[in-house]
Structures are given as C-alpha cells and as structure tokens.
Amino acid sequence: ASANMSAQPVPVPTASEFTVAGFNIENFQNDETQRRKAALAIRQVLHDPDVLGHVEILNLASLQALADQVNSDAVAAGDLNPQYVAQLVPASPSATQNVGFLVKTSRVQIDEVSQEGAGETYVNPLNGLPETLHDRPPLVLKATVTMPGISPRRVIAVVNHLRSFIGIELIGGDGLRVRAKRTAQAESTANLLQALQSANPGVPVISIGDYNAYEFNDGYTDPIAILK
C-alpha cells in the first residue's frame, strides 16, 4: 500500500485563452461523493475549462447536477460563477453511458448541439448483416467564444466514446466483430471531423473524449492513426 497519487493541475488559463478538456468520470450516476469529487477536479485540477466533454454519463439530469455543483462550489469559494450548463443527447432510451458537454456560458455561447451518426451501421463479419455502429454516437457542439479584447470566435468541439478493447484479442468469433467495429467507428468519426472542417473553413474543430485506443498501433486496430 502507498499514499494516494495527487493530480497535476493544468496551467491556470489567462483571460484571453480558450480552454477545452475531456473527462471520463466512469459510470457517473450523480452519486453525491462522486459528484463532489468530480466538481473539485473540474475547479482545482482543470481550472474550469470553457468547454468540457464528458464520457460515461447516466443522463442529462446527472450532468446538470454536476454543473450546478461546480457553479455553487465556485460561488461558495468566492470565485466567479462559471455558469456551466449541461448538454447531453441520450444514445438510446436505455443507455447508461452517454457523452455530453459542460459549457461555461459566462464566456461561451451555445449555438448548436447535435448527435451525429446515430443511424450509421457496419457489417458484422460474423453474420454479414448490418448492425448499429455507434453505441455512443459523437456529440457536436458549435459555439461562439467571447474573450476580453478579442472579437467573438466560433469553435466546434466533438466528444467521442469509441468501442472498448474487450474481446479484441480473440482470434476468431467475436474478435472479428470487435476489430471490424472499432475500425469502422474510427473511420466514421474521421469522416465526421473532415466534414466539419470542410463545411466550416477557418473554424477550429476540436476532437475530445475516450477513444479507447493507444497513440500507437495496438496490433489489432489503429483508431488514432485513422483519425489523424
């Protein structure tokens, strides 16, 4: 046993810097202890990013409760209220792991939030039939940032949660399906990012989230290379 590890906070942003972060809270269901600890991390480790892409969130109510916790804790500490607002579109009526955003509306105007790729399919190599591609479809935030002394700027953020490694090492059977799905998800997400760049020239497109992938080829699939 050893002492708990401590987080290394990101640099404190200046007033003229726009900041984006990703945060997988892992099965966040608005448990009070979990919510308070996550709010503390957002405030003291991430330093209240302007846009925060979240992964593994139960529902919109849970994410809004986290936003309210961060806002109230900031005021109680004598800091400015970041006025975080939650944005989340459920992957399905029964989904317990969704992606969403916290947006600091004291500095960021939400222009549009859309779920992309929910109807996409891929061919399952085990049966040759089309099946749902995205268990957690990408969520796209289009926003306008206002900073002191700088003209308002448009930004686009995309939060992703790609399929896990589970079963990837199986030589046959479900391993074939997992590898095909991971590759197809990466290709779909790459096409989405390319389309956003092409349709919005000059606007930063920022991809965040949990890619369930290494920065190098894992020997089975290479989602990051596909995205890049």
pLDDT in tens, 98-145: 999 999 999 999 999 999 999 999 999 999 999 999 999 999 999 999
Q: What percent of the chain has pLDDT over 70?
A: 100
pLDDT of residue 52: 98
Residues 164, 103, 41, 48, Cα dihedral to 10°: 140
Report the pLDDT value the prediction gives residue 147, as an integer from 0 to 100: 87
Dump pLDDT digits (tens) for 201-221.
999 999 999 999 999 999 999
Residue 172 is predicted with a pLDDT of 86
User: Pairing between strand 51-57 and 20-28?
Assistant: parallel
Residue 67: the pLDDT is 98
**pLDDT above 80 for 1:** no
Does 163 have pLDDT greater than 80? yes
pLDDT tens sequence across 37-72? 999 999 999 999 999 999 999 999 999 999 999 999
For the entire predicted model, the pTM comes to: 0.94
Where residue 169 falls among pLDDT bands split at 50, 70, 90?
A: very high
Whether 108 contacts 144, CB under 8 Å: yes
